[in-house]
Structure 1
Amino acid sequence: MTAQSVPARATLPGDPPGGRAAVTMWSVGVSVYFVAIIFRTSLGVAGLDAVDRFHVGASALSTFSILQLLVYAGMQIPVGLMVDRMGTRKVLCLGAVLFTLGQLGFAFSPDYTTGLLSRALLGCGDAMTFISVLRLGNRWFPARRGPFVGQLAGLVGMAGNLVSTLVIARLLHGIGWTAAFAGSAGLGVVVLVVTLLFLKDHPEGHEPPPLPAAHRGAAYVRAQIAATWREPGSRLGMWTHFTTQFPAMVFLLLWGMPFLVEQQGLSRGTAGNLLTVVILSNIVVGLVYGQLIARHHGARIPLVLGTVGATGLMWALVLGWGTHAPMWLLVVLTLVLGACGPASMIGFDFARPANPPERQGTASGIVNIGGFSACMILLLAIGVLLDATGDNYRVAFCAIFAVEALGISQILRLRARALRRERERLVASRVETVHVPA
């Protein structure tokens, strides 16, 4: 008896089967993420209202989003470990409880301090959703579907952002602050009930092995984090997320509406339409990027660097144009910003093949820290610069270029090492799975 090579199979041994059941379970899980995004971005259309309600300036307004994202980023590795240990259903349910309480608390916040605490609670719950959805996709769909399923998750998130832009904004000016935020909190209750009743962590016959007792201590947790961080693919994923996500996130999360209204002189309605263009562009570009990466893994780095370069160029043109940029240029800017979210999802596709299944949650947490750290840096920088310059948005938004430069330098430093390591893992995997006894 000798060993002979056979064609590699499209679905590796042990891969989940996918199919209708996978789509159903993933839809239940991603609905929680959808609602979390609505709550996360609801402040983006309420920034000017929040200034009047809490009587604060630009720096204090930034603090709402900074604290929310600080909690979110700080929770990423703990949540990754929780998902690896507890499964997605429990973590998603806990997240839904926390972000619903945070949204409800923000509705009734009588002062600035209470509002801050509510946004922190919301950020904690929000932190538990995206990593859980990624893990759910890995458990229910074949590995070859990973990039596309990940991009779809990002698209669902942008759909939640669209609800904030179109619905929450109108509710705020129709029924007022308290009714709008409290009413939207009901969505959290709905997805919590649906998740409790219907979600399963994995298909039958694909249960993960039980966690050994030796893997439950603090020393093992530290070893997991250290092993994940040592992988260049994990770090490349984090810096990819860092560099690509923040321009659109900051624009949609807080500063887009004030920039367009106060700096560009647009009405709130027109500014809201431009925010919608960012979201619609994100959905279209996400579908394109997902298909490209699924078919051509070599396109990942060019897509990342191309997106960063286009974003920097458009901001340079808008900020350097003069007092008011022409509408066509603002439209092009928002179309380009729509590519930032799909490009940030590529970071997870660098980390996924770099880590074994038992470290996927931890790896996703490390990647996710990147983009939200960049968002916090830029939110703070813009708020401080606005206060220091008397609301000069052109100066304040120049901070974008410094953050992009930092991220690009790290991507260029890590890319060769990470891709070489990924190829080595792929070759080793093929050696193990392609040869069978004759």
Structure 2
Amino acid sequence: MSNPSQTPTYLPSYPPLRLALAMWALAAAAYMAGFFLRVTPGVLNVPLMRDFHLNAAQLGNLASFYFYFYAASQIPTGIANDRWGPKALIVFGTLLTGVGTLLFAAAPNYPLALAARGLIGLGHGVAWVSLLEISARWFAPRVFGTMSGLSLGAGTLGAVLAQAPLLAMSHWWGWRWTLAGVGVICVLLGLLAWGTIRNSPHQRGYRDYLPPRPPTSAREVLRGLRAVWGWRNTALLFVAPSGVCGAFLTFTTLWGAPFLEQHRGMSGSQASWMIAAMLVGFSAGGIAWGRLSDRLRRRKLPYVTGAMFALLGFAQLSLWPQAPGWVLWTVQLLSAVGSGAMVVGFAWAKESVPASLAGTATGVHNTGVMIGALVQLPLLGWVLDALWTGRAEAGVRLYGLHAFQAAFGVLMAWLVVSLVCVLLASESHARPLEAARPQPRLRAEA
């Protein structure tokens, strides 16, 4: 790979749109496959509990292993992206995701299934940052926001395909053969990315959109991590998405489908379609809240409003779980749209620290997004097991309505904490932090 610092300045033109889209499409396909695999435990909860002899806590831990490794990969991904470029990460991550999926499909026992989910999370953990880097390098800056929205939409499409379509395929071919097929597709995507993707347009004879930048050393990253926590908003905005987004991920990834099937009388297909609709609402909400925040030049108001919508959804699940069907659909879709307000936090976190720490703040914030789900998935399983009455069917535990109410009550309480954190955060008014403005630093308040 050529050194970015040696990028030619005499190249004739920027890359044609069709070539840029080809680069983006491969990276987006890898991201979509990982998103598909993220939410599969919810759809496959019955065969997974049956075949691996799992209780709710174990199933929650199986789903959360993805998030453990995904969250742990975020900061190293930033360093690797600077040093080797997005192509290496996309190829490595997609191949690792494929290997992890094949291992999961063949896993004879629970410990090996956990290890496989960890590999999937680690492989997919590099996908989002790499996809954004491809978008920034191959497309003009004026369309970066559009490409970011399309990228998030690609991930949502993967999650939607992991609902009713995955359920149907698992009925036709069995869940193991279905996931094995997805693993093979991931390996093929990785090989195709290796032969097709280029880090920068100049490697295909075109002009670059981004100027060259020196790679960031691990020491610089650690120094930035220490510095970024000195700013008050960092901690508050780190906690906020753990509830606003974490509760949504926990419901749609795993515990929503069993509740809807066991206590709302839905078939597996109907529950999958409802969760798919919520995923689409989340994606649409992210775009809408982001645009509103930019237009108002305010971060707190859209975030608070979205968090309140999300809180309303889990309050209904906990306090009025047997609400009429039209109420359930309306409130849960509104809650999903509200959860999409978490995207405002990325811009807000960057604007809450000096420009030199903006990249580090983004990495810290993205880790906070995943913290909620990786804790809540097994925590809700523990709550369900603690309130289990002994009912089972075909070797699969069935949990009573009061157990689900208590579990969703945990998410409701977590969302209250997140909402308080958003209210306490300082408004940035969509402007970078000025050096002359009084700095809300933690150590200054001590």
Task: Give your verdict on TM over 0.5.
Answer: yes
* 2:308 corresponds to: 309
Cα shift at 1:115: 0.6
Match of 2:289 in 1: 289
> Which structure carries more relative contact order (alpha carbon 8 Å, separation 6+)?
1
Which residue pairs with 1:404 in the alignment?
Answer: 415
Match of 2:251 in 1: 251
| d(CA) in 2 for partners of 1:297, 1:426 | 20
Q: Match for 1:250: what amino acid?
A: T
Q: Is the CA contact (8 Å cut-off) linking 1:106 and 1:119 kept in structure 2? A: yes
8 Å contact 1:26–1:136 — kept in the other structure?
yes
Q: Secondary structure, in 3 states, of the residue corresponding to 1:422?
A: coil
Residue 230 of structure 1 deviates from its aligned partner by 4.1
Q: Deviations over 1:194-246 (max 9, x none)?
A: 3222223234344553537xx53x43231132344445665565344323211
Given that 1:318 and 1:329 are in contact with CA atoms closer than 8 Å, whether structure 2 keeps it comes out as: no
2:173 to 175, 184, 208: 175
For the pair 1:94 / 2:92, whether they are aligned, the reply is yes
What TM-score, normalized by structure 1, do the two folds share?
Answer: 0.83
Corresponding residue SS for 1:379: helix
SS of structure 1 residue aligned to 2:434:
helix
With over 3 angstroms needed to count, the CA separation of the structure-2 counterparts of 1:410 and 1:332, relative to structure 1, is: same
Gaps of 5+ in 1: 1-15, 428-438
Q: Percent identity?
A: 25
1:363–1:338 CA distance, 2 compared to 1 (3 A): same
Q: For 1:398, give the aligned amino acid.
A: G
Is this contact kept in 2: 1:84–1:360, CA < 8 A?
no
- Residue 19 of structure 1: how far off its partner (Å): 7.0
Greater shift, 364-373 or 312-321, is seen at 312-321
Cα displacement (A) at 1:326: 1.7
State the secondary structure of the residue aligned to 2:54: coil
Q: Does 1:209 align with 2:219?
A: no
**What letter is aligned with 2:416?**
A
Give the unaligned 5+ runs of structure 2. 1-12, 202-206, 389-398, 438-446
Residue pairs, 1:354-393, within 5 angstroms: 362-390=360-388, 391=399, 392-393=403-404
Return the TM-score normalized by structure 2. Answer: 0.82
Structure 1 equivalent of residue 204 of structure 2: none
Which residue number in structure 2 is paired with residue 134 of structure 1?
132
1:152 CA displacement: 2.6
| Cα distance change of structure 1 residues 136 and 411 upon mapping to structure 2, 3 Å threshold | farther
CA distance in 2, matches of 1:36, 1:425: 40
Cα gap change, 1:200 to 1:149, in 2 (>3 Å): same
Q: Structure 1 CA distance, aligned partners of 2:228 and 2:80?
A: 15
In the TM superposition, residue 142 of structure 1 has moved relative to its aligned partner by 4.8
1:394, CA displacement in angstroms? 0.7
Q: Which moved more, 1:406-415 or 1:333-342?
A: 333-342
Aligned 1:30-429 pairs, distance under 5 A: 30-143=28-141, 145-203=143-201, 204-206=207-209, 208-209=211-212, 211=214, 216=217, 218-230=218-230, 235=235, 237-298=237-298, 300-321=299-320, 324-340=322-338, 342-353=340-351, 362-390=360-388, 391=399, 392-416=403-427, 418-419=428-429, 422=432, 424=434
Q: Deviations over 1:339-377 (max 9, x none)?
A: 255322222222445678886654432121112101122
Higher helix share: 1
